[in-house]
A and B are shown apart, each in its own frame.
Chain A
Amino acid sequence: MSILDKVRALLGEAAVLEQAAPGGIPRIAPGSPDAVALLLATAHREGWRIRIEGAGTWLQGDSPADLAITTRRLDRVPAIEPQDLTATVEAGIGLDQLRQQLADRGAWLALDPPGLAGRTVGSIVASATAGPLRQGFGPVKDHLLGVTFVTGDGRMVQSGGRVMKNVAGYDLTRLQAGGFGAFGVIVLVHLRLRALPRADVTHLLEGPREDLTQVAEDIAAAGLTPAALELVSPALARREQWVLAVRLAGSPALVSADETGLGAATAGRFTALRAEEAHAFWMRLAEGFAVRPVTFRIGAVPAASDEMLDLLQHQVGDEWVSATPAAGAIRWTGDTTVDRLQRLRRTLAGLEVPLTLERAPWGTRSAVGHFGAYREGVGPLVAGLRHTFDPGSALVVATEGE
């Protein structure tokens, strides 16, 4: 009996999305969290190797496996609670669809991750890819109240809950946020929402990078609280020069005060975008990270942001770069080699700056790893956790590299 026949017998014909996805392997779309658990339990028993996919718009679907599981049929939204500003969503829902449903209820998920609009919530959580809104609203983990995930041997585990604060038991949600699927397949996510901002404006300033870095520092020193404060390379911004983009979102009173403060702190040098221009600017920026072969992020202390940008320019170029300088977060995209990535990671490690590989073809991913080598003592802990949540090594995820 072939793998495909066994899957059909387990989940029915409807679950088989494609008989041969890239690599010649079947692509299966379970229709419920229980179906994911059943499939992974079987995979564990049978020794099948599993590739995890969302909508297929972010990480390249090219890892060697016997079977691809996509979460794209897990696209229901069991609950949106605008009064409580929480939502429970299945992992396969696209962010664009979710945003619309939330907006209809006056709610907002303050995440603007890189990638195409239809990228799944599960993908965003698993890779912990926050975008420019991280400046005002924190990393991906700050938006999570809980997750339900299925382990590599088919166990369904709940973590966290649906309420704003929760310290009942260990916080396994944090392990899943940014775990790249190495600790299980996320099937359900409980999200913390915000009220849809009543005012939301974007201002841009173009200029040499060094100049804009100083302006960003002036804005922080003025005590302003922008939702986003992003330094974007000319190619990525599609402008002649580097761009500093400031997004202000919240109540009209707060946004108006911040606009006044911005003008005062920067001698009125910024230009306000019209709403549709602002939407297009941020969307293009997000999409810009999904079209080139390699995307990675690095995390430095804020004061080192400029030095990090110099380092990137020197080692891998800075054509496609976006930075959140006040948070010390920089994202790079482009084409580069395994050698260069490994050299860059080594250099950064010496400065205590981690490099997380977000997307790359399998050959690069498997050689470099999402995380690379761990610091002393951490590797055995991660290995122990991986073994706990995927005892048969069914989930094909390149965490450490070679």
Chain B
Amino acid sequence: MTTPALAQDLAGIVGERHVRTARAERVTYSMDGLPTHRRLPDVVVLPGTREELIAVVRLLATLGISFVPRGAGTGLSGGALAGGGAVLLVLTRLNRILRVDAENRMAVVEPGVVNAKLSAATRPHGLHYAPDPSSQSACTIGGNVAENAGGPHCLKYGVTANHVLALEVVLADGQVVDLGSPGGEPGGGGPDLVGLFVGSEGNFGIATKIAVRLTPLPRAVRTLLADFGSLRAAGEGVSGVIAAGIVPAALEMMDQSCIRAVEDSVYAAGYPRDAAAVLLVELDGHDAGAVTAEADAVAALLSAAGARTIRTAADEAERERLWQGRKKAFGAMGRLSRDLVVQDAVVPRSALPDVLERIAAIAARHNLVVSNVFHAGDGNLHPNISFDATDEAVRARVEIASGEIMAACIAAGGTITGEHGVGLDKLRYMPLIFDAESLGAMHAVRRVFDPDERVNPGKVVPLHACREWSRGAGSRERGAA
């Protein structure tokens, strides 16, 4: 089918205004938050209702055309890019909060609802949606589900997978299924298909309705900023807090390069510019006295690890300023050079000091600027490489350094992504952490949900590295049922 004919059929469902075929319009959708991957979709379609979305998926199933679901496009793995004739299905118009059930602490939303807007809507009930990615003012809950997104406060409250109760999903063939249940049974009357779906990066279908758990707003909060003379001392401070059994709401680290980028920007938070690293630690709970006691214990542990100074936010304004520096750090790093690769890996927490030193050595060897801002309490690193993508030689060095950073994290017992996903960017690293059998198992599971592999093709599982499983097993079973 020709592109104009397809666009016409799609326009028949969503209206002409919501089908984009002009190159200038499509270019907007050719990247996500990662500058190293680019794919120009032939057609972009923006359904406005659940029914339109299902009709579009059914039309594409009839035509045998692949498609890629996309939220706000803030992803950092090249996961929401459509090329090779795949239609890009943008879900930002499906942005209604369908229900807030304060009594049962849950909400039901459409996939295009912006993360921060859900928390804003539930705040009057004394509740919030806990996963808080740095992009929360723009990213969507549907995208969060696809990527199993995290965020600073996931240390205490858990990642997206811990907060999704039930899903309505449209599969690649247009069939609509309900997974999970809003109550206290993870499988909802079967195996935990919700848990399997969350983090599947769009490969299993599109969530059309998402039931999420809401969390009470803490009544007492203490936010500390500790600065250190070395990365190693800061890393040891993190280990000390975790091993003491204290679970802060958040425990974030920034290194000197990041601190200076923030302090030189409009987001300046008053971080000490001469520090090798700062830790931003937040403790919360329902009792002010207990939270203060825990904050005092944390301060003592950080002092013992070598903190030079420890500052406590005196009021909400100071707390917000300290957090703004952290949350806008990626934006501030844009000042360092033209392009930025935000990397994502996880290591055992006790390995943080060693791995940070290895990353610094890799950066020095390749003559690159690497800034670290990350979720230290989870061991979830974000080494960010600032570079100029127009310089081919530099781009090649960035690729090599990224690979070496991943290898260092894997060697320390870690993994290649903690919250950004595999997408296109991490495909090449998957065989470093999974053997051919395990990758083959993932591929086989994907084929149960999407036998023709039409949803977000070419992502997550590197097919060349998979051992063959019984091909078509899933589709045969489904066809027979």
Contacts and interface: CB of A to CB of B under 8 A. Distances in A.
Interface string B421-445: 1100010011001110111111011
A27 B449 CA distance: 36
Contacts of B346: 161, 163-166
B150 interface: yes
Contacts of A388: 441, 444-445, 448, 469-470, 473-474
A94 interface: no
A170 to B, nearest CB: 5
A299 B442 contact: no
Nearest to B414: A163
B105 interface: yes
Given A84-B242, A378-B178, A387-B470, 6 more contacts: A159-B441, A175-B445, A179-B192, A297-B185, A301-B183, A380-B481
A163 B347 CA distance: 6
Nearest to A256: B290
Contacts of A83: 239, 242-243, 348-350
Contact of B184 (A164, A168, A324): A324
B82 interface: no
26 contacts: A83-B243, A83-B350, A84-B349, A85-B349, A156-B437, A163-B346, A163-B379, A164-B378, A165-B154, A167-B148, A171-B195, A175-B445, A178-B187, A223-B219, A250-B245, A251-B245, A258-B290, A302-B103, A303-B103, A304-B183, A354-B188, A375-B189, A378-B178, A387-B476, A388-B448, A399-B190
Contacts of A250: 245
A194 B189 CA distance: 29
Q: Tell me which of B191, B346, B416 has the highest count of chain A C-beta atoms within 10 A of its own C-beta.
A: B191
Contacts of B375: 165
Interface residues of A, number: 94
Interface of B: 101, 103-106, 147-148, 150, 154, 158-159, 161-162, 171, 175-179, 181-196, 198-200, 203-204, 216, 219, 239, 242-247, 285-287, 289-290, 293-294, 297, 346-350, 375, 378-380, 413-422, 426, 429-430, 433-435, 437-442, 444-446, 448-449, 460-461, 469-470, 473-478, 481
A171 B189 contact: no
Contact of B245 (A172, A198, A377): A198
Contact of B478 (A86, A260, A380): A380
Contacts of A194: 245, 247
Nearest to B346: A163
A333 to B, nearest CB: 17
A207 B285 CA distance: 30
A256 B285 CA distance: 13
Interface stretch (A53-61, A63-71, A134-142): A134-142
B183 A166 contact: no
A356 B65 CA distance: 39
A250 B286 CA distance: 14
A391 B186 contact: no
Contacts of A387: 470, 473-474, 476-477
Given A377-B176, A381-B478, A141 B416 contact: no
B148 A171 contact: yes
Contact of A85 (B154, B242, B287, B418): B242
A172 B448 CA distance: 13
B243 A195 contact: yes
Contacts of A164: 346, 349, 378-380, 418
A385 B448 CA distance: 7
B349 A380 contact: no
B187 A353 contact: no
B188 A299 contact: yes
A224 B478 contact: no
A36 to B, nearest CB: 14
Contacts of B422: 167-169
Interface of A: 81-86, 106, 128, 134, 138-139, 141-142, 151, 155-159, 161-175, 177-179, 182-183, 194-198, 222-225, 250-251, 253-254, 256-258, 260-261, 297-304, 324, 327-329, 349, 352-356, 371-372, 374-385, 387-389, 391, 399
B181 A352 contact: yes
B419 to A, nearest CB: 6
A223 B216 contact: yes
A29 to B, nearest CB: 24
Contacts, number: 310
Contacts of B177: 375-378, 381
Given A163-B413, A170-B442, A329-B185, A225 B162 contact: no
Contact of A161 (B293, B415, B469): B415
A373 B296 CA distance: 53
Contacts of B289: 253, 257
Nearest to A325: B184
Contacts of B378: 164-165
A167 B199 contact: yes
B293 A253 contact: yes
Nearest to A327: B184
A178 B192 contact: yes
Contacts of B104: 301-303, 328
Given A258-B287, A384-B478, A354 B415 contact: no
Q: What are the 4 tightest A-B residue pairs by CB atom distance, in nearest-first order?
A: A299-B185, A195-B245, A174-B195, A354-B189
A372 B216 CA distance: 34
B434 A169 contact: yes
A182 B434 CA distance: 22
Contact of B189 (A196, A256, A371): A371
A302 B198 CA distance: 23
Given A170-B199, A299-B183, A388-B470, A374 B190 contact: yes
A215 to B, nearest CB: 17
A275 to B, nearest CB: 18
B192 A177 contact: yes
B191 A382 contact: yes
A324 B474 CA distance: 37
A168 B416 contact: yes
A388 B437 CA distance: 13
Q: Tell me which of B188, B189, B430, B481 has the highest count of chain A C-beta atoms within 10 A of its own C-beta.
A: B189
Contacts of B189: 349, 354-356, 371-372, 374-375
Given A165-B419, A167-B421, A371 B187 contact: yes
A175 B189 CA distance: 13
A195 to B, nearest CB: 3
Contacts of A378: 177-179, 190, 193
A59 B184 CA distance: 22
A173 B239 CA distance: 27
Contacts of B435: 158
A136 to B, nearest CB: 11
Nearest to B219: A223
A302 B435 CA distance: 42
Given A251-B246, A381-B448, A167 B417 contact: yes
A225 B413 CA distance: 33
Nearest to B479: A380
A383 B481 contact: yes
Nearest to A388: B444
A142 B163 CA distance: 11
Contact of A84 (B203, B348, B421, B429): B348
A268 B331 CA distance: 52
B437 A157 contact: yes
A172 B106 CA distance: 26
Nearest to A297: B185
B146 to A, nearest CB: 10
Contacts of B429: 168
A301 B184 CA distance: 6
B184 A328 contact: yes
B380 A356 contact: no
